[in-house]
Amino acid sequence: ETGVTQSPTHLIKTRGQQVTLRCSSQSGHNTVSWYQQALGQGPQFIFQYYREEENGRGNFPPRFSGLQFPNYSSELNVNALELDDSALYLCASSGGYLADYEQYFGPGTRLTVT
């Protein structure tokens, strides 16, 4: 196990609703990255937080937003849910934002939008 935890494990929402996913980083890690993995695809980078500031963003619309807290845990918020948002959402924590630092992934949250 990596020590990265995510909650909830599974979630079912209706189109148009809002959702918040949570990630607790590994002890000593100050960087959290979020990824979306659609069924049968590789994960896609959403954004990264380093010491409570957004530190890079992928090609996702503004309705995907995030937060990082002083204890370096993080939230991913998605507004106005669409059917295509159904996916496995993975967070990864690392000791820094540089690629020298290995990213440790959590088990993911499976979001289903109906």
Partner 1 sequence: AQKVTQAQTEISVVEKEDVTLDCVYETRDTTYYLFWYKQPPSGELVFLIRRNSFDEQNEISGRYSWNFQKSTSSFNFTITASQVVDSAVYFCVGGTSYGKLTFGQGTILTVHP
Positions in the binding site for partner 1 (CB under 8 A)? 2, 31, 33, 35, 41-45, 48, 55-56, 58, 88, 90, 92, 94, 96-99, 101-108
Nearer to partner 1, 69 or 101 (CB): 101
Nearer to partner 1, 14 or 99 (CB): 99
Which residue do the tokens 């540089």 mark?
A: 98
Nearer to partner 1, 16 or 56 (CB): 56
Which among 7, 55, 8, 9 has a CA at the least distance from the CA of 30? Answer: 55
Q: How far is the CB of 28 from partner 1 (least distance, A)?
A: 16
Nearer to partner 1, 8 or 56 (CB): 56
Q: How far is the CB of 56 from partner 1 (least distance, A)?
A: 5
Q: What distance in Å separates the CA atoms of residue 2 and residue 105, rounded to the nearest whole number?
A: 7
Query: Which tokens belong to 103?
Result: 């990213």
Query: Which tokens belong to 86?
Result: 């159904």
Q: How far is the CB of 80 from partner 1 (least distance, A)?
A: 25
Question: Each residue of 39-73: b (16+ CB within 10 Å) or e?
Answer: eeeebeebbbbbeeeeeeeeeeeeebbbebeeebb
Q: How far is the CB of 34 from partner 1 (least distance, A)?
A: 11
